[in-house]
Structure 1
Amino acid sequence: MTIVRAVRLADLDQLWELLEHATYGLTTLQINKDQLSERVEHSHFAFNRKTEKPTGEPYVFVM
C-alpha cells in the first residue's frame, strides 16, 4: 500500500537527499535548498490555512 500525505517541514532534509541523488523525473522540485525549503514552507502553510475557496495554494505531497 502506498500512503500519500502532505509534506511536513521535518521532511526537508530527506527531500534534499532525494534530490541530490535524482538524475531525472523530479522536475517539479528545484535543486536549490533555499527554494526547496520555501516551497515546503508555503505548502505547510497552505494546508493549515482555513479557506472557503482555493486561490492557487501550492500543495506538495510525499509518498
Structure 2
Amino acid sequence: MIADQRDFEKEKNRLISYLKKTQEYGASYFDGKESLSFGVMTTEEWNNLFYKHLDHHLTQFGV
C-alpha cells in the first residue's frame, strides 16, 4: 500500500517507459528467462504474466 503522495504524470511516464523497454527487448529476450517466483518461463508464459499483472493494477485503479 502506498501511503505517500505520488505525482501521477511522473508515475504514468515511468510505466510507459517500462512498457516500451519491454517491447524493445522483443519476445525472444524473455524466452527461457527465469522468474524468481515461477522458475524458467516461455515467451507465452511471460506474455500472460505481464498482461495479467498490468491488467490487475489498471483494474485496481479503475482504468
TM-score range, shorter chain: 0.3 to 0.5
Q: TM-score of the superposition, structure 2-length normalised?
A: 0.40
Structure with larger Rg:
2
Q: TM-score of the superposition, structure 1-length normalised?
A: 0.40
Relative to its length, the structure with more helix (as a share) is 2
Higher relative contact order (CA 8 A, sep 6+): 1
